[in-house]
Structure 1
């Protein structure tokens, strides 16, 4: 009996030692796994909270503003190209002909100055300015004038669409009426729009083509309204009516800003034109007094420095009086 009891106690002792040394890791392993599950749950909770924070209205608003800013920068870069300026001016997009004409103007100006026995350096500078700067300036002025005419009549065009939709006409027929009744360049752009739609192009694609030819904020708003209405539906007449009110308010604000900044613009024009006007008057009234300024190398340096600082001042004044709205 004693021997049996000793055997049972020895078995229990050996089993206990074996459990301690061999099976003790199981508890620690379970503990580690439990900790990992808890940590993983914490990470999932953190990720869920981060995702929820990313869907807040403020974050979405910042993301939308960032996207719109990037798109605006891309469109601004695209609108600065020669082809975009030619399209906005209504001259097509034949950039090769533009560069040929620019080169011809620069060459003609340079040859005229050389025939008049001017310095080669002066002739080269004048030829570069006439060949590169003058055509760009003319195209820019034409594009600006054409865009202004388009913007001034655009609100009336939207009102025509609103009245046509309320009377039961489809949008395509309203666009045709604008192409017939409105003044240029608005009528020509809408005629091209209806022609593109009639040839099988979607309304959104035709409006994007129209925006490439006439990159204005008003046309972009119109494109967005029509695109959203085509995808989600809704009262198009009401949406376009609200857009017309907004565009007229923008136009009123632009005129108000122009009136308030008229004094600053006049001051900038007077200050910028005063030094060249004084030099021209002194040259006409006393040519011998101003002759060293144009013949002596030191006078050339003085004219170069004066032109540089005048250009810098004009650029700064333009930034001060150029208001965006």
Structure 2
């Protein structure tokens, strides 16, 4: 009995249609789930205490107000995200804590490219030009990305303590603006600088929710976005600010614990990926140092250059796949 390959056509078509439908509707489902989680956070739990304290009509109207506020916040954040992506380089430099202008960045890139080109002229003009181009584009970008990640990580590490300070101040009867002024005065950078900007925005007449919304735009991490959502919902729909901020502090600390656990569990995979990704480059460099004529055919002939480019492309794809496998987004 011979196998008819046409029997696989219909199942494959059905699988492709199912995958297309999932790809189309999954973002909508995830957005709905995020909105529900944010609503639960803003209501302060599962809503049982609120149902005992108020009538079902008031709770329903508050839920509608919260849903409307969440939709407006999501639309506003999406618009600002698109606007920030169109700006490109300047927001990234500010988020990295650098006071550079884009012109300074591009001059540094040109200097690195020229230095890499001059250092690799011994491998041929074409290879030197390729190395200079890659170095000029990649090294400054990697440096800014490293500083940006470190700054955001430091901000995230101290942010739960900031929420606790705000909760204690609000419970003691102090206004939210005064609590943020305390954070701006007593915290360490980068939290102190960002909250000082929030206080300055309020001093010129900007509402507290707008000032916190600007903070979420300057520091585009999920923790600050949660704070902006809680403050905006409380200012529009009312409710217990201390309870919402207390729930937010609990959620943030739980996220930090989960991130630490995931980091510990994925440390071995990251180390293996780093060794596998760097091994061909290290071996090629050692062989070039000990026996230069052995690898000369790779960069002195057209076929060898094509092989190098193909190997670099496949290595880049492999590194990208391994990075996606061990990179957990929470």
TM-score of the aligned structures, taking structure 2 as reference length: 0.72
Task: Output the CA distance in 2 between the equivalents of 1:72 and 1:290.
Answer: 52
**Distance apart, 1:99 and its partner CA:** 2.7
Partner of 1:284: 289
Partner of 1:316: 321
Partner of 1:96: 103
Give the number of the structure whose alpha-carbon radius of gyration is greater.
1
Query: Conserved in 1, the CA contact under 8 Å of 2:177 and 2:208?
Result: no
The more displaced of 77-86 and 228-237 is: 77-86
By relative contact order (CA 8 Å, sep 6+), the higher-ranking structure is 2
Partner of 2:266: 261
Q: Structure 1 stretches of 5 or more lacking a match?
A: 1-57
Partner of 1:297: 302
Q: Structure 2 stretches of 5 or more lacking a match?
A: 1-28, 37-69
Q: Do the aligned partners of residues 315 and 77 (structure 1) sit closer, same or farther apart at CA in structure 2, a change above 3 Å counting? A: farther
Residue 186 (1) aligns with residue 191 (2): yes
Task: Output the CA distance in 1 between the equivalents of 2:82 and 2:265.
Answer: 30
Partner of 1:45: none
**Distance apart, 1:168 and its partner CA:** 1.9
Task: Output the CA distance in 2 between the equivalents of 1:271 and 1:152.
Answer: 31
SS at match of 1:234: coil
Q: Do the aligned partners of residues 78 and 109 (structure 1) sit closer, same or farther apart at CA in structure 2, a change above 3 Å counting? A: farther
**Distance apart, 1:75 and its partner CA:** 5.9
1:83-135 deviation line (CA, Å, top 9, x unaligned): 2211211224733332333234334443x248x56533223222322322221
Query: Conserved in 1, the CA contact under 8 Å of 2:80 and 2:217?
Result: no
**Distance apart, 1:197 and its partner CA:** 0.8
1:35-83 deviation line (CA, Å, top 9, x unaligned): xxxxxxxxxxxxxxxxxxxxxxx9x948968969877766665555222
Q: Do the aligned partners of residues 217 and 323 (structure 1) sit closer, same or farther apart at CA in structure 2, a change above 3 Å counting? A: same
SS at match of 2:142: helix
Task: Output the CA distance in 2 between the equivalents of 1:70 and 1:237.
Answer: 26
1:186-218 deviation line (CA, Å, top 9, x unaligned): 111111110111111122222222222210000
Q: Which of residues 114, 137, 153 in structure 2 aligns to 1:132?
A: 137
Query: Conserved in 1, the CA contact under 8 Å of 2:112 and 2:135?
Result: yes
Partner of 1:273: 278
TM-score of the aligned structures, taking structure 1 as reference length: 0.73
Aligned pairs, how many?
265
SS at match of 2:309: helix
Alignment RMSD:
2.8
1:240-267 deviation line (CA, Å, top 9, x unaligned): 0110000001111111111121222111
